[in-house]
A and B are shown apart, each in its own frame.
Chain A
């Protein structure tokens, strides 16, 4: 009596099923085969429905690959057709950056009136330190920098990752303070 009780409690307990009688055994086998067939039906469905496959053929689809406008790839400084940018050299981005990615070197330009005016000499950007957190873009009061959608950043020489964002000969746009 005691033994029977033990066996019945073992079959109720969660865990790998133990054969407790021939009928249960057969039922388990049928259940097992059925569960495998249900899974295989899924496989068969995708085998015959090619349109459901969503694989992207990267890098062959580079021409058609459109990343969203907000994608954070790297920091760039947009220049207009007159080779002018909007950076005043206020260093708000430099202070906002958690990793010292940005270093702004300033110089003093002479205005037509003969006054000295602060301007950027070099906007040094270390891509190798950047975590694309977007804090510099948010901090910029004149919208001089933005995030570009580039994402393939590998180069052979680490030095190429240190970039100067303002183009040679560029100057600040009129009216930006």
Chain B
């Protein structure tokens, strides 16, 4: 434990990164024990933006609690809302219309692309390259415009409701998504040219932050972090929901386990998401966008769990119901928390300058870690 900031009895230096440090993507506080420039220990301190979301949800009804989850992992808010809606539907045994299912998957994959785009820009910015950030935001802005038109918000959508989606898609939606796919395909080669192939970038990423498959499993890492170490863990493949089982897409796997492998997983996932969107965008079935539900939702007594694959990994919703209108207990399993726990293991023995690169490839979103 850190009693005092300064030096330990062994003569090691203790420094703080954060909570308000430009390299940490938010209010993440890392206490780092250094021997010269070599990292001996990284200790994340949490609690700076704890909002007790799980406790809050206990006083909200099953329609109301979904909006709170947009504030957890704000970059994949659609997917968080999707998980909550699915969990409530599981309890009430609501059959979701086919149109709503397709809209949900389209929104999920657009969110995943937007999230990976932002990560790509921020990742390059962590390593000192500022221009890629703007290039990433150009494509992301197109997705945000699509979201704004259909859902009415750019980040905290609250679009998925138990039984389907809140509103039908905007008439322009199809055209806009086609425009986005065209723009993305014409610009994605820039990512390779500017960042992936860059020698400085490769030298800072390859062989840095090694995480073996065994460690990834034992730390509970999911998503691109685990898939970069060769752990096959895509929830969309293993526990498909809302029709992912009918779609053709590959689970992206890299085996190196270093920062570059995690980077490549996300870059390749962008193309897989585009592949999913292309399969669905011209095949949105006609029909209702929302199933008929009762005015007041009451889950039967019992426990319900639903997992979804967010841009960062596996997101789980666990609801304990006593049969009332509000949940007795809600637990969210957020991917960022488990992924952060592997940081100490990865960073030990490497240099301080590489720590930011490792943090970048973990794709940390602090409100997701600290709910």
Binding site for B on A (CB under 8 A): 13-17, 28, 31-32, 35-36, 38-39, 41-43, 54, 67-68, 70-72, 96-98, 131-135, 138, 147
Contact = CB atoms under 8 A, between A and B. Distances in A.
Contacts of B166: 134, 138
B201 to A, nearest CB: 9
A54 B138 CA distance: 8
Contact of B67 (A28, A43, A135): A135
Contacts of A13: 207
Given A35-B199, A67-B148, A54 B141 contact: yes
Contact of B206 (A14, A36, A42): A14
B24 interface: no
Given A14-B207, A35-B199, A38-B197, A132 B153 contact: yes
Interface in B107-160: 131, 138, 141, 148-153, 156, 158
Nearest to B137: A54
A64 to B, nearest CB: 15
Contacts of B60: 98
Given A39-B198, A70-B167, A16 B151 contact: no
Given A71-B152, A98-B60, A14 B67 contact: no
Contact of B131 (A38, A41, A43): A43
A70 B170 contact: yes
B260 A14 contact: yes
B117 to A, nearest CB: 15
B314 interface: no
Contacts of A15: 206-208, 258
A147 B166 CA distance: 14
Interface residues of B, number: 35
A70 B63 contact: no
Given A16-B203, A32-B199, A133 B67 contact: yes
Interface of B: 60, 63-65, 67-68, 131, 138, 141, 148-153, 156, 158, 166-167, 170, 190, 193-194, 197-200, 202-203, 206-208, 256, 258, 260
B194 A39 contact: yes
A15 B210 CA distance: 10
Contacts of A17: 203
Nearest to A29: B199
Contacts of B207: 13-16
29 contacts: A16-B203, A32-B199, A35-B199, A35-B202, A36-B198, A36-B199, A36-B200, A39-B194, A42-B193, A42-B194, A68-B148, A70-B149, A70-B152, A70-B167, A71-B148, A71-B152, A72-B153, A97-B64, A98-B64, A98-B67, A98-B68, A131-B156, A132-B156, A133-B67, A134-B152, A134-B158, A135-B64, A135-B67, A138-B166
Contacts, number: 79
Given A15-B206, A98-B64, 10 more contacts: A15-B258, A35-B199, A38-B193, A39-B198, A54-B138, A54-B141, A68-B152, A132-B153, A132-B156, A134-B158
A38 B191 CA distance: 11
A42 B142 CA distance: 21
Contacts of A41: 193
Given A35-B199, A41-B193, A134-B158, A70 B150 contact: yes
A40 B370 CA distance: 40
A135 B202 CA distance: 47
A133 B148 CA distance: 13
Contacts of A39: 193-194, 197-198
Contacts of B158: 133-135
A135 B63 contact: yes
A72 B152 contact: yes
B267 to A, nearest CB: 16
Given A43-B131, A134-B166, A96 B64 contact: yes
B152 A147 contact: yes
B207 to A, nearest CB: 3
Contacts of B190: 42
Contacts of A42: 190, 193-194
- What 10 pairs across the A-B complex have the smallest Cβ distances? A15-B207, A32-B199, A98-B64, A70-B152, A133-B67, A72-B152, A68-B149, A14-B207, A133-B158, A14-B206
Taking each of B190, B194, B258, which has the highest tally of chain A beta carbons within 10 Å of its own beta carbon? B194
A61 to B, nearest CB: 15
B352 to A, nearest CB: 16
B67 A131 contact: yes
A32 B197 CA distance: 9
A70 B131 contact: no
A16 B351 CA distance: 13
A16 B260 CA distance: 12
A70 B203 CA distance: 46
A71 B138 CA distance: 20
Contacts of B138: 54
A28 B153 CA distance: 48
A35 B151 CA distance: 41
B142 to A, nearest CB: 10
